[in-house]
């Protein structure tokens, strides 16, 4: 598919009794506004989650209060302006169709017909009933009759389990136990993959170059069907928050051969028609995506009457106009990193893992460019792999790591990572230089750092906020930090609550071991960082990073912890992105209103032998003086507010 530069995702779920649908809509004015915003791709509803169609359908239910072909009007106006149109179908939810076809409705694992979770009482659809044929037929209708370039199929979630008779019979045939939730979920996952394949093969016969995205199916499971990826994230909404995008951005960019869209919203949550967030929030989230190779896609609502909501388009226009100035540098730029977090678990486990979130925070705050990879990716080109907290080693991971270490790679593992799947020993005990003794029962546990890893760590027993394992180091391995036991564990003994548990003396057990190749934390430090963000823990981790990465890709001084840094490459250009924003908890909601000013700082970028011909700030092309020393470009980053793009041109 042609690369999308600037998207708009218009939500349009309209209740059946909503009057005057589309009455005030002026498709030409609407499409002109898209063009003025620089939008080259629109996602618009063909059939919504209420079950209403907005096009002339012979098989679906056109909204009863829509008197013309709304989708057709949008498609025509977009086609005249060469704006790419993606048709939205909700594959998982359809109230009206569920009410009219009870046999198409799911029976959830708990026996209910409605799903209670994302929003109250969703009527979800069984993709193994004849609903699947109906859905595919409606999509084919749109592909045949309208100028559309792609399809967005929403809500194919594994949470929407189904134990209707159709599903149960097939589960039994295939050897799944419909009484076990994990079997039903797995069957649902496979059913959604099969639906996606059937949609693609049917629609490709009509239009071979259609693009597809299946929201809810993991990127790995879309390998044969989805042509692009999309990260849906409304950060003010509790189910996402501001920790979600950083994880997904670093994860999705490894499916780099596929374009990735970064969908946020002008509002606080879906269905919030009157929400208009501050420009700085929308802009900074999109900049974060751009730094990670994602293209912006702002979510908004179509007012069902078709009212033109001018302030929304004005906001989008201002934001996109600014972002477009970066296009000559950032379009098609590819991220560079020498560190990877390895987390071989699917989304949403990966997206919400406290271990991954803690690791992402630490690396982000320390300005270390990194990727998040699963087993589907190559690992050999990284210098350092981090296995955060709960990654047991299968035989195949063990074998890959044996080779990785033999080739000179470095490892940081923590908590249960590196243990065999039964949790009884380290899979690579010799290489780890550590033997497992068992689970630790210290609560709370403290640590002190030894001199080699102690730079900046307070010389006192420091809290860990998690519990982990007891290990012993083997000959040739040194202890970098040790555990300190509390006087008492936190508990109630029937008379007293032991809440005040000061540190006593060394437990004689390592927290951190190091043998020149593997740094092993016996406790899940990343989950601990996700819990309380203790600075001494990050400082200890930074000291370990320094051991693992001699001559790192980037060194910085004086950049505040809230600044995020990414490195990209594009032909002869090396791009350094710096983003300075900080969400603030205002009452119940995290808000970004301001771009922050960052005072002059220094930056060192490793370029090995290549001396850049010039270094400048984009888009203004203001040249920056620099030195080239020992393979590093040394420069002073001038004071900036919010965002800076530094370009090194070879």
Where does 277-326 have alpha helices with state H?
279-291, 310-324
Is residue 195 at the binding interface for Zn ion, with CB under 5 A as the rule?
A: no
The enclosing H or E element of 295 equals strand 295-301
Among 41, 136, 162, 290, binds Zn ion (CB under 5 A): 162
- Minimum distance from residue 188 beta carbon to Zn ion (Å): 9
Half-sphere exposure at residue 299, Cβ-oriented, CA atoms within 13 angstroms: 24
> Taking the complex as a whole, how short is the minimal distance between the CB of residue 106 and Zn ion, in angstroms?
6
Smaller CB distance to Zn ion: residue 13 or 188?
188
How many residues bind Zn ion (CB under 5 A)? The answer is: 6
Kindly tell me which residue out of 33, 93, 167, 247 binds Zn ion, with binding defined by CB under 5 A. Answer: 167
Q: Which stretch binds Zn ion (CB under 5 A): 46-54, 164-172, 410-418, 614-622?
A: 164-172
184 binding Zn ion? (CB under 5 A): no
Q: Which H/E stretch holds residue 139? A: helix 131-145
Shorter beta-carbon distance to Zn ion: residue 55 or 109: 109
Are 526 and 459 within 8 A, CB to CB?
no
Cα–Cα distance for residue pair 401/388, rounded to 1 Å: 15
Residues 6 or more apart from 182 whose CB is under 8 A from it? Answer: none
- CA pair distance 473, 429, nearest whole angstrom: 10
Q: How far is the CB of 163 from Zn ion (least distance, A)?
A: 7
- Nearer to Zn ion (CB atom), residue 168 or residue 554: 168
Q: State which residue, 189 or 266, has the beta carbon closest to Zn ion.
A: 189
Binding positions for Zn ion, 50-109, rule CB under 5 A: none
CA–CA distance, 477 with 517 (Å, rounded to integer): 10
Is the previous residue joined to 444 through a cis bond, with omega within 30 degrees of 0? yes
Q: Which of residues 63 and 189 has its CB atom nearest to Zn ion in the complex? A: 189
**In the range 232-291, which residues lie near Zn ion by CB under 5 A?**
none
SS (H, E, C) 511-523: EEEECCCEEEECC
Contact track, Zn ion, 113-142, x by CB under 5 A: -------------x-x--------------
The rounded distance, in Å, linking the Cα atoms of 153 and 86 is: 10
To the nearest whole angstrom, how small is the minimum distance from the Cβ of residue 158 to Zn ion?
A: 13
Q: Is the Cβ of residue 113 or residue 472 nearer to Zn ion in the bound state?
A: 113
- Crossing angle of helices 525-532 and 354-365, in 10° steps, is 80
Q: Which of 164, 326, 445, 575 binds Zn ion (CB under 5 A)?
A: 164
Least Å distance, CB 125 to Zn ion, is 9
Rounded Cα distance, 296 and 286, in Å = 6
Q: Does 633 bind Zn ion (CB under 5 A)?
A: no
Footprint of Zn ion on residues 446-485 (CB under 5 A)? Answer: none
Backbone φ and ψ of 585, nearest 5°: -75, 110
Which of 93, 224, 216, 215 is CA-nearest to residue 151? Answer: 215
Chain residues binding Zn ion by CB under 5 A are 126, 128, 162, 164, 166-167
């Amino acid at each position: 598919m042609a690369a999308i530069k600037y998207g708009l995702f218009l939500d349009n779920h309209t209740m059946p009794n909503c009057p005057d649908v589309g009455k005030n809509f002026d498709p030409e004015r609407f499409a002109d506004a898209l063009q003025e915003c620089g939008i080259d791709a629109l996602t618009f509803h063909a059939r919504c989650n209420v079950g209403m169609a907005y096009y002339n359908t012979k098989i679906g239910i056109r909204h009863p209060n829509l008197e013309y072909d709304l989708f057709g009007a949008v498609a025509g106006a977009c086609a005249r302006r060469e704006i790419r149109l993606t048709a939205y179908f909700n594959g998982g939810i359809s109230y009206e169709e569920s009410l009219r076809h009870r046999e198409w409705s799911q029976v959830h694992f708990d026996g209910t017909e409605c799903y209670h979770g994302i929003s109250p009482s969703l009527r979800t659809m069984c993709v193994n009933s004849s609903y699947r044929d109906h859905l595919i037929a409606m999509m084919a209708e749109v592909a045949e009759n309208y100028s559309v370039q792609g399809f967005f199929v929403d809500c194919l979630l594994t949470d929407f389990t189904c134990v209707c008779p159709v599903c149960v019979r097939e589960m039994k045939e295939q050897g799944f136990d419909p009484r076990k939730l994990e079997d039903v979920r797995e069957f649902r996952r496979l059913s959604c993959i099969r639906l996606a394949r059937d949609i693609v093969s049917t629609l490709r016969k009509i239009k071979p170059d259609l693009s597809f995205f299946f929201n809810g199916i993991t990127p790995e499971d879309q390998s044969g069907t989805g042509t692009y990826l999309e990260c849906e994230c409304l950060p003010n909404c509790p189910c996402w928050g501001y920790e979600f995008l950083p994880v997904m951005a670093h994860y999705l960019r490894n499916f780099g051969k596929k374009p990735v869209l970064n969908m946020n919203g002008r509002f606080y949550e879906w269905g919030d028609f009157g929400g208009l967030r501050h420009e700085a929030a929308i802009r900074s989230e999109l900049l974060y995506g751009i730094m990670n190779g994602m293209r912006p896609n702002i979510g908004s609502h179509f007012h069902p009457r078709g009212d033109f909501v001018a302030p929304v388009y004005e906001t989008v226009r201002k934001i996109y106009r600014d972002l477009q100035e970066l296009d000559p540098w950032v379009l098609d730029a590819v991220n560079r990193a020498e560190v990877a977090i390895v987390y071989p678990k699917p989304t949403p486990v990966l997206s919400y893992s406290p271990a991954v979130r803690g690791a992402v925070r630490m690396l982000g705050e320390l300005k270390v460019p990194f990727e998040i990879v699963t087993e589907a990716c190559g690992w050999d080109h990284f210098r350092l792999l981090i296995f955060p907290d709960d990654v047991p080693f299968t035989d195949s991971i063990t074998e890959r790591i044996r080779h990785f270490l033999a080739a000179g790679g470095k490892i940081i593992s923590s908590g249960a990572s590196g243990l065999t799947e039964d949790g009884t020993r380290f899979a690579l005990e010799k290489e780890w230089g550590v033997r497992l003794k068992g689970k630790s029962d210290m609560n709370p546990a403290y640590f002190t750092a030894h001199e080699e890893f102690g730079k900046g760590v307070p010389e006192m027993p420091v809290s860990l906020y998690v519990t982990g394992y007891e290990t012993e180091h083997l000959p040739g391995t040194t202890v970098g930090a040790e555990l300190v036991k509390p006087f008492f564990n936190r508990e109630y003994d029937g008379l007293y609550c032991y809440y005040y548990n000061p540190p006593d003396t060394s437990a004689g057990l390592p927290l951190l071991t190091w043998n020149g190749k593997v740094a092993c934390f016996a406790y899940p430090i990343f989950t601990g960082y996700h819990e309380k963000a203790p600075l001494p823990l990050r400082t200890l981790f930074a000291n370990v990073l320094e051991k693992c990465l001699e001559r790192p890709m980037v060194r910085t001084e004086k950049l505040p912890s809230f600044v995020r840094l990414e490195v990209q490459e594009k032909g002869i250009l090396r791009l350094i992105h710096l983003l300075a924003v900080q969400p603030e908890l205002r009452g119940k909601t995290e808000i970004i209103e301001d771009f922050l000013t960052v005072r002059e700082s220094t930056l060192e970028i490793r370029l090995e032998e290549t001396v850049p011909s010039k270094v400048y700030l984009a888009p203004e092309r203001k040249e920056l003086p620099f030195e080239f020393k020992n393979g590093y470009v040394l420069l002073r980053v001038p004071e900036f507010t919010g965002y800076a793009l530094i370009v090194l041109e070879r």
